[in-house]
Structure 1
Amino acid sequence: MKRILLVEDELEIAELERDYLEINEMEVTIERNGARGLELALQDDFDLIILDIMLPDMSGFDICREIRAKKEVPILLVSARKEDIDKIRGLGLGADDYITKPFSPSELVARVKAHLARYERLAKNNIASQNEILQVHDLTLDLDGRKVFVADQEIIFTTKEFDLLVFLAKRPNRVWNKEQLFEQIWGMQAAGDVSTVVVHIRKIREKLESHGDFSESIETIWGAGYRFNL
């Protein structure tokens, strides 16, 4: 049974979300205090964390940053704030998804299942791909250790940044549109915002270009998508 940590200060909403997740055979721990939620997230081994941004004692953004710095676990941010800047900030901090209130409980369950399945596939792939190294010019991708190096200097990537970079690097010189990349990396066809792809491409470029001349490695093909150039 998958264990979910739900950090939400509105009890009525938290209980409704818990009920739907438990119907789908998940064990849910509710925490209404942000600081306590962060403590639980770091101390215990949850399979996924649902985190409200607007908590009375601590920003959900800060909690997300702290968790991601120490753990690779799916994090779903939830907020009534619909501004793109909030989505960009949350995804930039390493969140796996951003859900805007109000949303249907069934949508939440669908996204939770999709992220759990993706992380399970990721774990299996890590076992199957031991010692697999992908070398592209000065860029080294350690698929087993999930590490990125440029000229022996490691660059830290979030889980989805790494997955997206590897996906493109393994399939060079082909154009992929945002919808295709979203489906391949996030494992969902219509249950998410494809602007997530744009944010992650930008973050990947920034990290690579800060360590060398990678300005043309991931090319934007206007009106079509993205291409990894060899």
Structure 2
Amino acid sequence: MHNKILIIEDDISISEMVKNYLIKDGFIVTTAFDGEEAIVKYLNHDFDLIVLDLMMPKLDGMETMKIIREKSSVPILIMSAKDSDVDKAIGLGLGADDYISKPFSMIEISARIKAAIRRATKYSNTHKIEEPPVIKVGNLTINIGNFLVSKNNQTIQLTSKEFQILKLFSKNPNRVFTKAQIYSFIWKDEYFGDENVINVHMRRLREKIEDDPSNPQYIKTLWGIGYKLEVN
């Protein structure tokens, strides 16, 4: 079965270059040249992964990703000339699965796409085991089956990775997880010490579930060790 890729890139030459390479690599590729066109194509077709540029007309990459993330956890790979840590942090925080900076090699982007799809497929296949439908931690209610989280009966919008992290902690209360363990469980890949990815997701998760993110009551930091969900 050939995986379907949506490339959202306003530079026609880059779009065509990536498209042609991925087609030769066995992918089925659809292109869009601005955010509005991308949303229309996304809503009318099923894709296994989205390659997304940040700087686009009509609707930029960040806004496009927000809309997609409200509807789906499809893997998203950002490719952008914006290479600052801030841009990477924002992109990952909004729900991107990976980030590649321009210029890049075709071999690298193909490898990252395959890795992201492989991780998503593994996660899907390994979570078919029946699980408790609802977990309650303090004022939080985590509905595993529906991928919904609420606090004091108010729904909290989490990205796919944020939900997976909270689910991991809630199923293992008071267990300490190192950053390497979190990356291995959630990203299904080997950890190479990129703390920024973990830090961004933990900060964004705390901002959504904690009353005071700077003084968290749920997810505690054990300095030099890792994190745990504290349940008394």
Interval containing the TM-score (normalised by the shorter chain): 0.7 to 0.9
Q: How many residues align?
A: 229
How far does the alpha carbon of each residue in 1:104-129 deviate from its partner, in whole angstroms, 9 at most, with x for none?
32332232223223333443455433
How far does the alpha carbon of each residue in 1:115-167 deviate from its partner, in whole angstroms, 9 at most, with x for none?
22333344345543365322323322211111112243322211110001111
CA RMSD of aligned residues (A): 2.6
Match for residue 148 of structure 1? 149
Q: Cα distance 1:22–1:180, how it changes in 2: closer, same or farther (>3 A)?
A: farther
> How many Å separate the matches in 2 of 1:142 and 1:15?
42
> How many Å separate the matches in 2 of 1:194 and 1:97?
14
> How many Å separate the matches in 2 of 1:99 and 1:9?
16
Q: Cα distance 1:163–1:200, how it changes in 2: closer, same or farther (>3 A)?
A: same
Match for residue 130 of structure 2? 129
> How many Å separate the matches in 1 of 2:148 and 2:32?
33
Q: Cα distance 1:191–1:55, how it changes in 2: closer, same or farther (>3 A)?
A: farther
> How many Å separate the matches in 1 of 2:192 and 2:113?
11
The Cα of 1:191 is off from its aligned counterpart by 7.6
Q: Which range is displaced more, 153-162 or 115-124?
A: 115-124
Q: 4+ residue stretches of structure 1 with deviation over 4 A?
A: 190-193
Match for residue 41 of structure 2? 40
> How many Å separate the matches in 2 of 1:179 and 1:18?
34
Could you state the TM-score of these two structures normalised by the residue count of structure 2? 0.85
Q: Cα distance 1:152–1:58, how it changes in 2: closer, same or farther (>3 A)?
A: closer
> How many Å separate the matches in 1 of 2:101 and 2:28?
23
Question: What are the ranges of 5 or more consecutive residues in structure 2 without an aligned counterpart?
Answer: none
Query: Contact between 2:174 and 2:228, CA under 8 Å: does it hold in 1?
Result: yes
SS of equivalent to 2:43: helix
1:76 matches 2:77: yes
> How many Å separate the matches in 2 of 1:104 and 1:167?
35
Query: Contact between 1:114 and 1:186, CA under 8 Å: does it hold in 2?
Result: no
Q: Which range is displaced more, 199-208 or 114-123?
A: 114-123
Report the AA paired with residue 69 of structure 2: R
Match for residue 56 of structure 2? 55
Question: What are the ranges of 5 or more consecutive residues in structure 1 without an aligned counterpart?
Answer: none
Could you state the TM-score of these two structures normalised by the residue count of structure 1? 0.86
SS of equivalent to 1:176: coil
Query: Contact between 1:178 and 1:194, CA under 8 Å: does it hold in 2?
Result: yes
Report the AA paired with residue 149 of structure 2: V
> How do residues 1-230 of structure 1 correspond to structure 2 at under 5 angstroms?
1-125=2-126, 127-129=128-130, 132-189=133-190, 193-210=194-211, 215-230=216-231
Q: Which range is displaced more, 69-78 or 140-149?
A: 69-78
